[in-house]
């Protein structure tokens, strides 16, 4: 089962002859990179970085991130003390110059639709999250399409893929608008998480594969050793481990669908930490996540529930503080597709 958040942000379309075949973009990236690794176009030691691959393939970072996670899980590459993945088994020395020499061997699939919403979703998400700190605002579909030089249906597809994450919604007149991330909404979202997420994870404990949890612990421990030399994107991936990937195994799919509306809280930190505001002096959540993962490994349902509830309580004040800092330091940035709300 795919991550709910990632599925919504990564589903793409490839066209073959006259038929339109639905395909996930991360699968396209995964196939491309796997082939390059297996035929040694990307030789052992190549450090694969998310940004250069996304730029070369003309995709956003989200599908590349998912593809790299799959490649790591399959043992084709491994994490190390630096950024990215090293091709080969653990212990393979990294060669940071290799990628620049070999990346020209990959590129966007010839049958990929060049102006699909995946090509600009990261930029749009960042603009919407930034605006959300300063209140609701209307999104004009026509101007959005014009801004990104895409069709109106493509612009609509992008908004529809951000809607389940709680970033945008339609008003009573069926017009798109940015959902504000003010103090009241952050409080309400955390109340929802506090009520549902610990219970959902408790019900999931016996369904999560042990090797998946062990991999999550290893990723967290590696990042913990490197902190603060980590990016907001890397922290976001660690957040997804606990709050999305674990819950993929929850037997209560209604819980999962409702909790998906709170995902904007994770996106908030991804778009501002280390970008708009400083990284926290001390690691923000990794030790708490590791403690929860160890309860899961022990199949300790009640311990898992209580540990997650404590983690949620601790994170609520941190997110409110970051949002307050954003509002103090910055002002809303006009965009050609944003329009003031009118009565």
Domain ranges of the chain: 4-105, 120-343
pLDDT at residue 110, as a whole number: 63
Q: What is the pLDDT of residues 1-10, one digit of tens each?
A: 333 344 343 4
Mean pLDDT of 142-156: 92
Categorize the per-residue pLDDT at 24 as very low, low, confident or very high, splitting at 50, 70 and 90.
Answer: low
Q: How many residues does the chain have?
A: 343
pLDDT at residue 3, as a whole number: 39
Query: Distance (Å, rounded) from C-alpha 202 to C-alpha 199?
Result: 5
Pair 239, 319: CB distance under 8 Å? no
pLDDT of 199 strictly over 80: yes
pLDDT at residue 111, as a whole number: 57
Q: Which of 32, 30, 29, 26 is nearest to 7 (CA)?
A: 26
Categorize the per-residue pLDDT at 23 as very low, low, confident or very high, splitting at 50, 70 and 90.
Answer: low
pLDDT at residue 196, as a whole number: 97
Mean pLDDT of 181-206: 96
The CATH code belonging to domain 4-105 is 1.10.10.10
Do 4-105 and 120-343 share a fold?
no
Q: Which helix (H) or strand (E) holds 319?
A: helix 301-329
pLDDT at residue 343, as a whole number: 56
Pair 296, 178: CB distance under 8 Å? no
Pair 247, 199: CB distance under 8 Å? no
Q: What is the pLDDT of residues 234-274, one digit of tens each?
A: 888 899 999 998 998 999 999 999 999 999 999 888 888 88
Q: How far is CA 75 from CA 68, 72, 305, 306, in A?
A: 11, 5, 31, 33
Query: Distance (Å, rounded) from C-alpha 132 to C-alpha 167?
Result: 8
> Is the pTM of the predicted complex or chain greater than 0.85?
no
The single residue listed with the structure tokens 């709050």 is 243
Pair 224, 286: CB distance under 8 Å? yes
Query: Distance (Å, rounded) from C-alpha 126 to C-alpha 333?
Result: 11
pLDDT at residue 22, as a whole number: 40
- Please return the burial class of 321, using the count of CB atoms within 10 Å of its CB with bins 0-12, 13-18 and 19+: exposed
Query: Distance (Å, rounded) from C-alpha 265 to C-alpha 193?
Result: 10
Q: In the beta sheet, which residues pair with residue 85?
A: 48, 79
Q: Which of 267, 271, 251 is nearest to 330 (CA)?
A: 271
Q: What is the pLDDT of residues 59-85, one digit of tens each?
A: 777 788 878 888 888 889 998 877 789
pLDDT of 200 strictly over 60: yes
Residues 210-242 as b/e (b if ≥16 CB within 10 A, e otherwise) read eebbebbbebbebbeebbeebbbbbbbbbbbbb
User: Checking DSSP bridges between strand 77-79 and strand 168-170, what pairing results, if any?
Assistant: unpaired
User: 155 Cβ partners below 8 Å, 6+ apart?
Assistant: 117, 141, 144, 145, 148
| CATH 1.20.120.530, applies to 120-343 | yes
Tokens representing residue 283 in the block: 């690691």
pLDDT at residue 170, as a whole number: 94
pLDDT of 337 strictly over 80: yes
């Amino acid at each position: 089962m795919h991550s709910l958040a990632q599925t919504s942000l990564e589903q793409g379309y490839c066209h073959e002859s006259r038929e339109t075949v639905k395909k996930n973009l991360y699968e396209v990236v995964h196939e491309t990179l796997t082939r390059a690794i297996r035929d040694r176009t990307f030789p052992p030691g190549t450090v694969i970085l998310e940004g250069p691959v996304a730029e070369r393939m003309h995709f956003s970072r989200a599908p590349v991130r998912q593809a790299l996670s799959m490649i790591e899980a399959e043992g084709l590459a491994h994490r190390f003390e630096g950024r990215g993945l090293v091709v080969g088994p653990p212990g393979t020395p990294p060669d940071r110059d290799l990628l620049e020499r070999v990346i020209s061997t990959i590129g966007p699939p010839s049958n990929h639709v060049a102006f699909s919403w995946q090509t600009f979703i990261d930029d749009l998400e960042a603009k919407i999250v930034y605006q959300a700190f300063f209140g609701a605002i209307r999104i004009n579909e026509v101007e959005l399409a014009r801004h990104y030089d895409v069709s109106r249906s493509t612009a609509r597809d992008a908004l529809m893929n951000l809607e389940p994450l709680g970033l945008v919604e339609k008003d009573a007149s069926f017009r798109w608008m940015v959902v504000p991330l003010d103090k009241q909404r952050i409080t309400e979202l955390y109340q929802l998480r506090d009520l549902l997420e610990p219970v959902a994870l408790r019900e999931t404990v016996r369904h999560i594969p042990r090797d998946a949890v062990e991999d999550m612990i290893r990723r967290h421990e590696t990042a913990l050793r490197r902190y603060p030399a980590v990016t907001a994107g890397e922290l976001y991936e660690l957040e997804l481990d606990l709050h999305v990937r674990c819950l993929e195994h929850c037997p209560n799919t209604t819980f999962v669908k409702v909790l998906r509306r709170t995902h904007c809280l994770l996106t908030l930190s991804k778009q501002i930490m280390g970008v708009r505001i400083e990284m926290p002096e001390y690691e923000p959540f990794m030790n708490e996540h590791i403690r929860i993962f160890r309860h899961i490994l022990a199949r300790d349902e009640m311990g898992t529930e209580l540990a997650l509830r404590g983690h949620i309580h601790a994170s609520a004040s941190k997110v409110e503080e970051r949002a307050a800092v954003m509002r103090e330091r910055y002002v809303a940035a006009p965009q050609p597709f944003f329009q003031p709300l009118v009565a």
